[in-house]
Amino acid sequence: MKNNNSARRYVEVDSSRRKTKHGPVILFIIICLVAAVLPPIIINALYDVGDDHPLLIARWTAADSLSYFGTISAAVIAIAGVVISVRAAWRSQESQLRDDAAPYFAAIFLDQQNKRDAFADFFCSRCQGQPIDSSPAVNDGGDSTAQSTYKEVEIRTIFAIIGDTITYKKKLSDYEREHVESSYLEEEQANGGRSFVPNSVIYMPIEMRNVGKGAAVGVRVGINKLEDSWTGVSSLTLGIGESFYLGVYINTSRPGAFGEYEIRVAFSDCLGYQYMQTFQLRVVKNTDPHGSSEELQPQVLISYLGTRRLLNANERREYLESLTDVSNGGIPFI
């Protein structure tokens, strides 16, 4: 019952504030109308007091009346403009102070790593004839390591694999890592010999840093072809100066890897406005300028200065609808 009374008092106070919110404005309008209309009526009435001996002899002319009302109207408009400007400035300052002081919480989704598989542990122990050991793993040096223990971390490393399709990973495989770290690859020939061939993978390590003046909330990144709709992964919160790592792995041995793409980064600010920043990316075949039919290594062209725009209502709706059918706000990691 106490809570209901408190809620009722809050509603009553809030409604009374709404009723009196426009009170000063209404009073100001009434005063201006009275000041503009009542004096001419009183002055004209004084001319009619007594027919033989009137208090005022001279009458106003039409020009005097127009001049009077013009002066009054100009004064009223000027005063009203000053009042409205002062109120607007005060409200803007109040809103700015409230926004600067208001806390804002962003949901940071953590990745679960090294989850224990009791089913696999059971069969492994039965095969080896040993009891299940849940202690941390020990490396070759004898030191205890936390690599096999369960942990929850924030993923700020994203790998985009571009081939015939576009997929995303948390980490690269050994095969992919070898292509990233090598300029030429060693291949074994059928006759037992070995040859060195150019690496068909072009890798671009990119660090996306928030250099703006506010936090970026709900950051999602995706690489899409120009004609495709937006898809992306991750859900990051980046404070001022914080960054995430985007590794673009382009397998040019796949015909579908060539074309025009956009790196699209969608994010929101603390006031709820949503933005999309895009970077142009082109994967093209490189031919010999001297007319030779031999193809050179493919090239990747990227615009290092992204274009940011504020999403309108329709774009915001399309963006949110693109996230509904995919878990974790985007294409799941592999």
Q: What is the pTM of this model?
A: 0.63
Query: What single-letter amino acid sits at 170?
Result: K
Neighbours of 161 (CB within 10 A): 20
All residues at 6 or more sequence positions from 230 whose CB lies less than 8 Å from its CB, including other chains = 222, 224, 264, 266, 276, 318, 319, 322
Best CA proximity match to 222, nearest among 167, 157, 176, 274: 167
pLDDT digits (tens, 9 = 90+) for 259-276: 999 999 999 988 888 999
Give the pLDDT score at 100: 73
Instruction: Round the average pLDDT of the chain to a whole number and report it.
Output: 76
Give the pLDDT score at 32: 72
- Residue 222 to residues 104, 246, 247, 278: CA-CA distances in angstroms? 26, 10, 11, 10
Region 9-31: mean pLDDT is 58
Give the pLDDT score at 295: 60
pLDDT digits (tens, 9 = 90+) for 139-186: 344 444 445 788 888 889 999 999 999 999 989 999 999 999 988 887
Q: How far apart are CA 92 and CA 110, in angstroms?
A: 38
Region 218-229: mean pLDDT is 90
Estimate to the nearest angstrom the gap between the alpha carbon of 294 and the chain centroid. Answer: 45
Q: Where are the domains of the chain?
A: 2-101, 151-329
Band of pLDDT at residue 134, cut at 50, 70 and 90: very low
